[in-house]
Amino acid sequence: LKMASILKSKFLFFETDSKKIRITAGDELSSSNNSYVVEISDCIKSNRLDAPVKIALEFFKLIPSDYNVSLSKKISKWVSPNGIVYYVGCSAV
């Protein structure tokens, strides 16, 4: 999220394949201009998104921490180790 803030990105995009999750901070999923990509392949319990999901960063504010994230087409759930839970709206791309 820090890099998304530095780049002034509008969205976080989440994509999956059989082995990893790709998180992209940017304005468009297909654009490589002013975007930042992180791929996660460990600590994944389930990897079953039918389509990429995006979260608007305009009002996305979380207390800095590690989070376990659950995603669906319309909502995401962010749970920190100390019990803080956020529900954040999202949409399929």
Instruction: Give residue 69's domain range.
Output: 2-92
Percent of the chain past pLDDT 90, that is, above it, reads 43
> Please, what's the b/e burial string for 46-58 (b: 16 or more CB within 10 A of its CB; e: otherwise)?
eeebeeebbbebe
Q: Are strands 11-16 and 53-56 parallel, antiparallel or unpaired?
A: antiparallel
Confirm if 41 and 4 have CB atoms less than 8 A apart: no
Confirm if 35 and 11 have CB atoms less than 8 A apart: no
Q: What pTM value is reported for the model?
A: 0.83
pLDDT in tens, 30-57: 766 788 999 988 877 776 778 899 999 9
pLDDT in tens, 4-14: 888 889 999 99
Number of domains the chain is built from: 1
Provide mean pLDDT across the span 74-78: 94
CA 75 remoteness from chain centre? 11
Across the beta sheet with 91-92, what order do the strands follow? 36-40, 21-26, 11-16, 53-56, 91-92
Provide mean pLDDT across the span 69-89: 93
Q: Residue 65 has which token pair?
A: 């921490």
